Structure 1
Amino acid sequence: MASFTRKAIIESFLKLLNERPLNKITIKDIVEDCGINRNSFYYHFEDMSSLVEEIMVEEADKIIEKYGDISSLEECLCVAIDFAVKNKKAVMHIYSSASREAYERYLNRVSEYVVTKYIDTFVDIPAKEEDKEIIIKFFKCELIGYILDWMSDGMRYDIRNQVRRICELFEDTTRIAFERSAGKL
Structure 2
Amino acid sequence: MANSQITKRAVAVSLKQRMEHTPLEKITITDICDDCGLNRKSFYYHFQNKYELVIWIFEEEIGRPIREKVASNRVSLSLAIELCEALASERGFYANALRVTGPGSFREYLAHQMQPMVLRSLSMEHVPSLDRDETTYLISEFFLSSLYRWLERTPPSSAEAFLEGFSSASLALAKRIQHLLEKPTE
User: With structure 2 as the length reference, what TM-score do the two structures score?
Assistant: 0.62
Over 3 Å counting, the alpha-carbon distance change for 1:78 and 1:132 in structure 2 is farther
CA distance in structure 2 between the partners assigned to 1:150 and 1:27 by the alignment: 27
Q: What's the counterpart of residue 7 of structure 2? A: 5
Deviation at 1:145, TM superposition (A): 0.8
The answer for the alignment partner of 1:179 in structure 2 is none
Answer yes or no: is the 8 Å Cα contact 1:94–1:100 preserved in 2: no
Shift, 1:141, TM fit: 3.5
Cα distance in 1, alignment partners of residues 161 and 55 from structure 2: 29
Asked if structure 2 preserves the Cα contact closer than 8 Å seen for 1:63 and 1:110, the reply is: no
Q: Over residues 106-161 of structure 1, what are the superposed CA-to-partner deviations in whole Å (9 max), with x where a residue is unaligned? A: 33133223334556xxx8xxx64848974x96566335314303524763242531
SS of structure 1 residue aligned to 2:105: helix
Instruction: Calculate percent identity across the aligned residue pairs.
Output: 20
Q: Which runs of 5+ in 2 are unaligned?
A: 175-186
Question: Which residue does 2:16 correspond to in 1?
Answer: 14
Structure 1 unaligned segments of length 5 or more: list them: 174-185
User: What amino acid is the match of 1:27?
Assistant: I
Per-residue deviation, 1:41: 0.9
Cα deviation per residue 1:76-105 (whole Å; 9 max; x = unaligned)? 322333343223222332344466861321
Query: Is this contact kept in 2: 1:9–1:30, CA < 8 A?
Result: yes
- Aligned equivalents of 2:76, 2:134: Cα separation in 1: 15
1:1-185 equivalences under 5 Å are 1-55=3-57, 60-69=63-72, 71=74, 73-97=76-100, 102-116=105-119, 118=121, 128=126, 130=128, 134=132, 138=135, 141-152=138-149, 155-156=152-153, 157-158=156-157, 159-164=159-164, 166=167
Q: Report the more deviating stretch, 97-106 or 39-48.
A: 97-106
Distance in 2 of aligned mates of 1:78 and 1:140:
21
Q: Which amino acid aligns with 1:160?
A: E
Bigger RCO (CA 8 Å, 6+ sep): 1
CA change 1:117–1:80 in 2 (3 A) is: farther
What is the distance in 1 between the residues matched to 2:162 and 2:95? 20
Q: What is the CA–CA distance in structure 2 between the aligned matches of 1:97 and 1:81, rounded to whole Å?
A: 18
Q: Across the two proteins, how many residue pairs are aligned to each other?
A: 164
Measure the CA separation in 2 of the matches of 1:87 and 1:99.
Answer: 22
RMSD across aligned positions (CA) = 3.9
Q: Structure 2 vs 1, CA of residues 8 and 118 (structure 1 numbering), >3 Å: closer, same or farther?
A: farther
1:150-185 deviation per Cα after TM superposition (whole angstroms, max 9, x unaligned): 524763242531314628x96xx9xxxxxxxxxxxx
Q: Structure 1 counterpart of 2:4, which letter?
A: A
